[in-house]
Structure 1
Amino acid sequence: MAEIFRNTTTALPRPAGGTLVARTLDAGWQETGTEGFLIKPLHEDDASGQRTWLMKVAPGAEAPPHAHDEAEQIYVIEGSFYDDENTYGPGDFAIRAPGVVHRGGSKDGAIILLVYS
């Protein structure tokens, strides 16, 4: 099963030294290829496959069944987010094993932090 969300812009790479900074308040949300799901890519490392994204889920949006090659970590910042097992609210954290087929969405809208590793 293929990844349904894709990044078309540049995220910060893994720093070779020092600190890199993304000023996300001024950055616009970008399309992911899945209706109702927008992202702000924060960090991506092609060598390790790690990705860190902010994701905005529109009210009523639902992603079709899919799986990720990496573990998926989900932290809800605002609103509510659901998958096949639970509904999550602000401050909730979930981690999903690689390859688990799932759906995800939001009835009222959400902003979540996603880490794929």
Structure 2
Amino acid sequence: MMTAIDRQHTGSHHIDTTLNNWQETGAPGFWLKPIFKDSQTGVSTALMKIDPGAYTPDHAHDQLEEIYVLDGDFYDAEHSYGPGHYCQRAIGAMHEAGSKGGCTMLLMYRR
């Protein structure tokens, strides 16, 4: 298993995410594969997989959240998203999250 790249690395680096296992997030049916993590700033990039029918009620994050849907479907209270759709949430923005048929997305957090 490969670990996420951190800010201590210099130059170009790569990660083969197919070698990493999905990690539980604490929300049933939501899974992560960390790609990058800066422990000093909290900036991070990960793949997220959501199982079909998984849902999490209103919650917020202490960082700006960006999602880019790679495959499947994703929804919140405001919109339904498909492949190629992008969403950005402000720090502290309350939102729900779910998927009817399952999805994979690129997930980024930053300040």
- TM-score, with length taken from structure 1: 0.87
How do residues 80-95 of structure 1 correspond to structure 2 at under 5 angstroms? 80-95=73-88
Q: CA deviation at 1:16?
A: 4.2
Partner residue of 2:53? 60
Given candidates 96, 102, 105, the residue that maps to 1:112 is 105
Given candidates 29, 35, 46, the residue that maps to 2:28 is 35
Which consecutive residues of structure 2, in runs of 5 or more, have no partner in the other structure? none
Distance 1:95 1:15, change over 3 A: same
Given candidates 7, 11, 19, the residue that maps to 1:14 is 7
Runs of 4+ in 1 over 2 A off after TM superposition: none
Equivalent pairs counted in the alignment come to: 109
Q: CA deviation at 1:11?
A: 2.1
Superposed CA RMSD: 1.4
SS of the equivalent of 1:17 reads: coil
- TM-score, with length taken from structure 2: 0.92
User: How much identity, in percent, do the aligned residues show?
Assistant: 48
Q: CA deviation at 1:20?
A: 2.3
Separation in 2, partners of 1:17, 1:11: 14
Pair 1:73 & 2:66 matched: yes
